[in-house]
């Protein structure tokens, strides 16, 4: 008697590690079909560089300014495409776009491989006419502002965007991939007839 058992596949979000990246490059020949995702919501805020200011003195000093902010929200479900792989201080730097109209590293986010193998955020794309962008982890408030810094030790090759919690732990944003693992198992069953 022969029975066939089939296990169904399951899609998982896993961190993009160097071994997976090399395997995709080797098997597919390029990184075009691969889609990557951010581990947490990323909010990038662009503030207008040229500010219209008004300064008047009439018994008191009145200073007014009018500036515009542009908030770019990148969700965990937004897929990104790896445009180019470069090197930064001896570590791979991935230029990832989450915008269909972007085809160059100038308008892409930079994720550098850290010592633990994860590709963490190192650069947000600049916008013309706006100041250097500020990145926020999950929410747009001052406590969630991310700054360039080291993860664990000063000997790390690159600074990455980190947000320090009150308890000292660090929040970062790294790249993830969706991987479907489909292990099929064929089982043959036989019955022992017994001695008698």
CA-closest candidate to residue 72, choices 128, 133, 143, 145: 133
- CA–chain centroid gap for 39, Å, is 6
The residue count for the chain? 196
Residue 70 lies in a domain: yes
pTM: 0.82
pLDDT, tens only, 85-111 = 999 999 999 999 999 999 999 999 999
Rounded CA-CA distance 42/96 in Å is 14
Count how many domains the chain has. 1
pLDDT, tens only, 151-163 = 888 778 899 999 9
pLDDT, tens only, 7-46 = 455 788 999 999 999 999 999 888 999 999 999 999 999 9
Residue 192 lies in a domain: no
Residue 131 is predicted with a pLDDT of 92
Percentage above 90 pLDDT, the chain? 66
Residue 96 lies in a domain: yes
What is the span of the domain harbouring residue 86? 10-50+63-181
Rounded CA-CA distance 74/63 in Å is 35
Residue 24 lies in a domain: yes
SS (H, E, C) 124-158: CCCCCCECCCEEEECCCCHHHEEEEECCCCCCCCC
Residue 57 lies in a domain: no
pLDDT, tens only, 121-176 = 999 999 998 999 999 999 999 999 999 999 888 778 899 999 999 998 999 999 99
Residue 33, token pair as written in the block: 């079909």
Judge whether 135 and 171 are in contact, CB under 8 Å: no
Rounded CA-CA distance 57/137 in Å is 41
Residue 85 lies in a domain: yes
How many C-beta neighbours within 10 Å does residue 175 have?
Answer: 23
Residue 22 lies in a domain: yes
Residue 4 lies in a domain: no
Mean pLDDT of the chain: 89
Query: Residue holding tokens 């408030």?
Result: 141
Secondary structure E strands in the chain: 10-15, 35-38, 42-47, 52-57, 61-66, 69-74, 80-88, 91-97, 109-113, 119-123, 134-137, 145-149, 160-164, 170-171, 175-181
Residue 62, token pair as written in the block: 């009145």
Residue 195 is predicted with a pLDDT of 82
């Amino acid at each position: 008697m022969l029975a066939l058992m089939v296990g169904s596949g399951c899609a998982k979000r896993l961190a993009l590690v160097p071994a997976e990246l090399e395997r995709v490059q080797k098997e597919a020949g390029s990184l075009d079909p691969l889609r990557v995702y951010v581990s947490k919501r990323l909010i990038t805020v662009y503030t207008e560089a040229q500010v219209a200011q008004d300064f008047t003195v009439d018994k008191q000093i009145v200073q007014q300014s009018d500036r515009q902010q542009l908030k770019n929200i990148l969700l965990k479900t937004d897929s990104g495409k790896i445009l180019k792989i470069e090197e930064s201080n001896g570590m791979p730097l991935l230029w990832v776009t989450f915008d269909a109209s972007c085809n160059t590293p100038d308008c892409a986010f930079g994720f550098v491989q850290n010592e633990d193998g994860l590709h963490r955020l190192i650069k947000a794309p600049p916008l013309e006419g706006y100041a250097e962008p500020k990145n926020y982890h999950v929410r747009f408030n001052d406590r969630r502002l991310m700054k360039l810094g080291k993860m664990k030790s000063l000997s790390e090759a690159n600074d990455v965007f980190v947000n320090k919690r009150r308890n000292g732990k660090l929040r970062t944003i790294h790249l993830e991939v969706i991987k479907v693992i489909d292990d099929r198992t064929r089982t043959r069953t036989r019955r022992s007839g017994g001695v008698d």
